[in-house]
Copies of this chain bind each other. A is one copy, B any other.
């Protein structure tokens, strides 16, 4: 019983994970699992919608597992490792990711929305964990949400344009984005300033944050006039 249910679910996770939901039928799931359509209904009386929601939940668990990286080394290296695994997932499941997060999918329900929000929340908690924060104030919480929204928008654009930009370049740029956002937020928010002051000493000249700062100083001549009123 349980084995048969798992087998059907596995087929659904695979099919819904690689196609848009409207391109998967209950017959496809039955055929992939090598069973009859009525048997699928016996285990999943809610039919295609129930299988889709179960598949989204399975994908969410897979994605959440990918966020977990060891709490050691430069924080921006950890972020790069987690992002790499996220983008690898996006790449392997592009049509499904696009349908789920791009909006306007017929299979989208309040349940799938809640699952997606759960993934975002866990992603945010992981980012904050590596910054040494458990109970973020309003600005830091917004900062993390803003960056995660950016990662999703960039992933969707990447899919839309046929993934022309190499994954590693996209990952490095998204890590730079996070570092830049933390630094600008640290200039006005005390909690972000403390998080940056904890994180920066763990960075090295070769870590993503280290190379970013070296690259940024190379831009300084363009901005020299902005420091004219320094004594």
Which residues on A are within 8 Å of B, measured CB to CB?
A: 103-104, 108-110, 113, 138-139, 141-142, 145-150, 152-154, 157-158, 161, 164-165, 169, 172-173, 176-177, 179-181, 183-188, 193, 196-197, 200-201, 203-205, 209-210, 212-219, 222-223, 225-230
Asked whether A145 lies within 8 Å of B173 as measured between CB atoms, the reply is no
Chain B residue nearest in CB terms to A186: B219
Contacts A187-B215, A205-B226, A226-B214 given; does A113 touch B108 at CB 8 Å: no
Chain B residue nearest in CB terms to A209: B226
Asked whether B219 lies within 8 Å of A193 as measured between CB atoms, the reply is yes
Q: Lowest 9 CB-CB distances: which A-B pairs, in order?
A: A149-B153, A187-B215, A180-B184, A180-B180, A146-B150, A176-B184, A104-B113, A210-B226, A149-B149
Task: List the number of copies, as a whole number.
Answer: 2
A169 to B138 CA separation, bound complex (whole angstroms):
12
Out of B152, B172, B214, name the residue touching A188 (CB < 8 Å).
B172
Contacts A138-B161, A164-B138, A200-B222 given; does A216 touch B153 at CB 8 Å: no
